[in-house]
Amino acid sequence: MKKTIITFARWGNYTIAFKTIFDQLGLEVIPPEPTNPTTIAEGAKISPEMYCFPLKTTLGNVLPGLRKGANTVFMVQNIGGSCRQRYYGAIQKKVLEENGHQVNFLDFRATPRDIYRTIKKISGASSWQIIRAARFFFKKLRLIEKIEKKAQFYRPREIKKGTTDQVLTESLTELEKLNKEKDFPRLRKEILKSFSEIETEKDKKIPRVALVGEIYTVCDPSINFDLESKLGKEGIEVHREMDITYHLKKLVFPWKDWTIQRKINPYLRSTVGGHGRDAIYEMLHYVKEDFDGIIHLLPFGCMPEVTVRPILEKIHLESGIPFLSLSLDEQVAEAGINTRLEAFIDVVRNHYNSKQ
């Protein structure tokens, strides 16, 4: 039997945590290339044209790994879901085979037990090893989310421009290198200390903008042209609720969906798949919290987010909160995004100043 060599798609800073799982289980991994215009174009070229953008970019991520010898792709498939994501594995496997790559996809059914069984089968790891790998994964994941939030807070307040991004990059590099769980508390402490040492303008009052929309797009800076950093450098504090922890909480506490539905009932009385309902719920929350702007990010071809966009626009008209919806795909150029963002930032500042 051929040895399993895994590659997988990038997903922003979470890539670090995913790689840890495979390393800890002793699996051979060829990490994905950073997402860039070349990998995006390669993925888009062989993907079904009308499929949603993340399918194309993630396909582009795994191609270099397959060329370097990987024979297995970690792509969550058959795990349920309420949009086209549930077919990603099947479609990507077919596309890759049609393009000459014989590749296995890790096949998860919809239960944690099946995920456990699949991992055990391919890695041969003991139950204790799997538990430890999962624990280390979650520790890294939680720290990644924590420092991303810290960066959102520090960027607009930093005195020396660029310090926060430098601390964030160095922290993520150290976290990626860390392969012993016992060293995690020390590194965590050091990372949090370096953030606390960033010099800031104390008590600076600044506009707040929230990012809502599709989870992959809002969480991956290389997909959304690093919007959080761009806004932060313009003196705007960014908030984003959508991340893996948010998503997992909804899986563990299914009644959260019921709460969301109750809150958005005046606007939408059914599910639309994906995180469509969450975008409405989040926007209503940010309006209530008196934010100064909302940016809605969606991949081209994302049915849930396209469906809720008119509702978000309606909330924008009713409340007066500045609103910008950005649909991203392989055709979108950074220069175009920058122009729209500059105009939006002016509107946000005017809105903020009018309240002072």
Number of neighbours of residue 174 by Cβ within 10 angstroms:
13
Q: How far is CA 183 from the centre of its chain?
A: 26
Is residue 90 at the binding interface for ligand SF4, with CB under 6 A as the rule? no
Is residue 40 at the binding interface for ligand SF4, with CB under 6 A as the rule? no
Q: How far is the CB of 300 from ligand SF4 (least distance, A)?
A: 9
The residues in 274-293 that bind ligand SF4, with binding defined as CB under 6 A, are: 274
Nearer to ligand SF4, 216 or 267 (CB): 216
Question: What is the rounded CA–CA span in Å between residue 129 and residue 326?
Answer: 42
| Candidate segments 96-104, 106-114, 244-252, 299-307, binder of ligand SF4 by CB under 6 A | 299-307
| Candidate segments 77-85, 175-183, 247-255, 312-320, binder of ligand SF4 by CB under 6 A | 77-85
Q: What distances in angstroms separate CA 16 from CA 20, 140, 145, 146, 336, one per listed residue?
A: 6, 8, 12, 14, 30
| Candidate segments 94-102, 107-115, 248-256, 301-309, binder of ligand SF4 by CB under 6 A | 301-309
Q: Which residue has the tokens 């979650």?
A: 138
Is residue 213 at the binding interface for ligand SF4, with CB under 6 A as the rule? no
Query: What does the block give as tokens for 150?
Result: 């810290």
Nearer to ligand SF4, 75 or 302 (CB): 302
Question: What is the rounded CA–CA span in Å between residue 212 and residue 210?
Answer: 6
Q: What is the DSSP string of 2-42?
A: PPPEEEE--BTBHHHHHHHHHHHTT-EE-PPPPP-HHHHHH
Nearer to ligand SF4, 155 or 309 (CB): 309
The residue within the footprint of ligand SF4, chosen from 147, 302, 328, 341 (CB under 6 A), is 302
Question: What is the rounded CA–CA span in Å between residue 109 and residue 335?
Answer: 42
| Candidate segments 82-90, 96-104, 279-287, 317-325, binder of ligand SF4 by CB under 6 A | 82-90
**Closest-CA residue to 231 (of 199, 205, 203, 209):** 209
Is residue 83 at the binding interface for ligand SF4, with CB under 6 A as the rule? yes
Is residue 52 at the binding interface for ligand SF4, with CB under 6 A as the rule? yes
